[in-house]
Structure 1
Amino acid sequence: MKVLLVDDEHLARDRLRRMVEQCDGYEVLDEAACNGEQAITLVQRYHPDVVLMDIRMPGMDGMEAARHLCALQAPPAVIFCTAYGEYAIEAFEVQAVGYLLKPVRQEALQKALESARRANRVQLAALSQQQEGTGQRCHISARTHKGIELIPLADVICFVADNKYVTVRHKGGELLIDDTLKELESEFGERFVRIHRNALVACGAIDRLERTPQGHYQLYLEGQEEPLQVSRRHVAATRRLMQRL
């Protein structure tokens, strides 16, 4: 089985590599030395069977990376390796997804690897639900022909729903995503404001609010030529927000 190591500590990766190489039938493909974002890139490049991943890393942490991996058609099994005991082991033992405390013991690693199989999206979705409340994502993920594309949350201008689809408009363009507006509003309610039943906008991207001759309200956003309609029920709240910005 092919294994990818993800840990921002060089010594931790070296130790895990030696331990994995002592397990028959397992091969270390590569190492991600930075964070979860690099891990996602390497997963799409090498298609590992298993990812041994730290939780606390700079930038995107291991928990968020596992959530984004859910978007893959064939996500790898994720085994978390962490030195922090405040993460309840039971909360993350989701079927084939394992959890090891550092310093990792050879016997425990061997057992986790033997039980690891390709986790499907249902399994990783269950992991995502277990993590709710552990912190907001710093990226939004979209499935495209390139694989998983990550959009930094700071670059998001707005989310717009059209029937069953939600589009994220960001500084580099726009992409379809799997999240619903309700889910996004629940997770990022402090950074985004609902202006219509089909639109959430980034508070920091608001430019101005204008009323049309027909009596409708339109919100202009930075970097967007076309304004978004503000429903009457959301006009007052939008005005109050703009007064605080």
Structure 2
Amino acid sequence: MTELGVLIVDDEPLARARLARQLEALDHCTLLGEAVDAQTALAQVEALDPDLVLLDIEMPGESGLALAETLSAREHPPAMIFCTAHDEFALPAFATAAAGYLLKPVSREQLSAAIEKLQRLSKPQRRLATVDSGQGSPSRRQIKAVSRRGVELLEVGTIRCLIADSKYVVAHHEGGETILDESLKDLEQEFADTFVRVHRNALVSRRYIAGLSRDGGSYRVLLKDSGERPQVSRRLLPEIRQLVEELGR
């Protein structure tokens, strides 16, 4: 089972504490943080990039259902499991693409089963995963981009990092910056041997990684021949640390 970073969203301290205890007893789950309302939860999702959000429905301010709709509209939404005392919201909850709906008090067995279920791929998902991985299809050496100079071909080997900015992806390379009309997810899948994800909105080229630097409570990747310092998400930090050590040997 894949290691999951989890965010708990609930305005009740006892409910948050109970879920935290349940998670501690489960393998492959790490509690990244907690939030008491939707606004705080959105900020936490940006900062922590969780794989899974356990969320209540009735909270002060925006409801858990509204929060789930906002999260599900993201390019790479986290999985969501509702943990609530109200059974009447099940249908609208699953309409937000929720992976589970558990009634309080949530037991460890219920939570474990829901998490295991969300990590199992259906047959169509496995087929898509195989196609998306690009097996048997060599990646391009150049990427087509449109700039004020017209259409240009950008050499993949010159790109230091790829940063998602709103609706676009910006490639930072030896010649400056170029906007690409391709999603970060598609670029990550096609060029998995060249780039590594360090944050929800950033990929960096393995060949240009020079190290890590601490920036307050977070870390950033140092890149050769580039002033860009992409932030590393807390969830991905152990993996990036190991990669930096391997590249330095």
TM-score (norm 2): 0.45
Which entry has the higher C-alpha Rg, 1 or 2? 1
